[in-house]
């Protein structure tokens, strides 16, 4: 800077005096929520901090444990997990697990956190109990349906057996009828064919045998009618 004495002693010539510019201020340290930058192949790529570091208001380093699993586009995911388990417990759990199992662990934590927020008393246990009750109800309904199906199949088999028996009886009856008709036709042909008195006698004898085999006990005999009834004036 110029000295004031020099300024006062300088002649006034009507021209503007040029003062030197002040030095630039020192760079401020990076704020906790400011985006981090990574240099690759001479270019600077600005990467937004993860949702966990944004919510915790801390600087998101390059090797942040939470960054791969809590992207900045889904802050509610970390908010729910942090509300139930806490950021310190989540970080400790992820550090103790290998990288291949961290994704499943984060998904399990988020699912359990959602269940705990919906049901603060039982959490995942309540959802599991409800699903087990539904499974038991479905098993009972399935058993009832199978028992009803077995009864229906048994009734169908019995009906089919009865139908087969009836069909067999009908077939036997038709066969007997055809046999009787054939015998009758043969007997009629023999009787009407002029075969002599011998054939007629045989036919009459067969008819008498058939009549003798008939049960006539249900009819009243005229010879015993008078003996069975006595006169009232006797």
Cβ-based neighbour number of residue 62 at 10 Å: 9
- CB pairs under 8 A, 24+ apart, for 108-116? 109/81, 109/85, 110/77, 110/80, 110/81, 112/84, 113/80, 113/81, 113/83, 113/84, 113/85, 114/80, 116/84
The number of helix segments (H) and strand segments (E) in the chain equals 8, 2
pLDDT tens-digit series, residues 154-173: 999 999 999 988 888 888 88
208-220: per-residue pLDDT in tens?
665 555 555 544 4
Instruction: Report the pLDDT averaged over residues 112-129.
Output: 90
State mean pLDDT over 177-187: 81
Asked whether 230 and 221 are in contact (CB, 8 A), the reply is: no
Name which residue leads in pLDDT, 187 or 73.
Answer: 73
**What average pLDDT does the segment 100-109 reach?**
92
| Residue-averaged pLDDT of the chain | 75
- For 85, the token pair is 């388990």
Q: What are the C-alpha distances in Å from 102 to residues 87, 88, 113, 170?
A: 15, 15, 16, 78
> In this predicted structure, what is the pLDDT of residue 7?
43
Q: Give residue-wise pLDDT tens across range 14-59.
A: 444 455 556 665 554 444 444 554 444 444 444 678 888 999 988 8
**In terms of C-beta density within 10 A (0-12 exposed, 13-18 middle, 19 or more buried), how is residue 67 classed?**
buried
Task: Of 132, 157, 18, 60, give the one whose Cα is nearest residue 70.
Answer: 60
Contacts of 159 (CB under 8 A, 6+ apart): none
Count how many residues are written for the chain. Answer: 234
pLDDT at 227 over 70: no
Please give the pLDDT value at position 182. Answer: 80
Average pLDDT over residues 129-155: 95
The structure tokens listed for 71 are 């992207």
The Cα 62–Cα 51 span in angstroms is 14
* Res 171: pLDDT: 85
Tokens 């937004």 belong to: 48
pLDDT at 5 over 70: no
pLDDT band at 103 (very low <50, low <70, confident <90, very high): very high
Whether pLDDT at 224 is above 70: no
Q: How does residue 62 score in pLDDT terms, banded at 50, 70 and 90?
A: confident
Note the helical H segments in 22-86.
Answer: 51-56, 75-84
Q: How far apart are CA 55 and CA 109, in angstroms?
A: 17
What are the residues whose beta carbons fall under 8 Å from the beta carbon of 112, sequence distance 6 or more?
84, 123, 124
């Amino acid at each position: 800077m110029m000295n004031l004495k020099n300024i006062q002693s300088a002649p006034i010539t009507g021209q503007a005096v040029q003062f030197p510019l002040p030095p630039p201020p020192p760079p401020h340290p990076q704020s906790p929520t400011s985006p981090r930058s990574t240099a690759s192949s001479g270019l600077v790529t600005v990467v937004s901090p993860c949702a966990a570091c944004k919510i915790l208001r801390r600087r998101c380093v390059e090797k942040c444990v939470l960054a791969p699993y809590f992207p900045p586009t889904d802050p509610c995911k970390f908010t729910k997990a942090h509300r139930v388990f806490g950021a310190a417990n989540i970080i400790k759990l992820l550090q103790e697990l290998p990288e291949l199992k961290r994704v499943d662990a984060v998904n399990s934590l988020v699912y359990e956190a959602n269940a705990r927020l919906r049901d603060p008393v039982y959490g995942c246990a309540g959802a599991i109990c409800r699903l087990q009750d539904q499974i038991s109800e479905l098993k009972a309904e399935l058993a009832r349906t199978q028992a009803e199906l077995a009864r229906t199949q048994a009734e169908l088999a019995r009906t089919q057996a009865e139908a087969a028996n009836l069909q067999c009886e009908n077939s036997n009856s038709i066969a007997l009828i055809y046999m009787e008709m054939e015998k009758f036709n043969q007997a009629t042909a023999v009787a009407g064919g002029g075969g002599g008195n011998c054939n007629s006698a045989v036919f009459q004898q067969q008819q008498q045998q058939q009549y003798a085999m008939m049960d006539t006990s249900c009819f009243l005999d005229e010879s015993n009618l008078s003996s069975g009834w006595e006169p009232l004036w006797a």
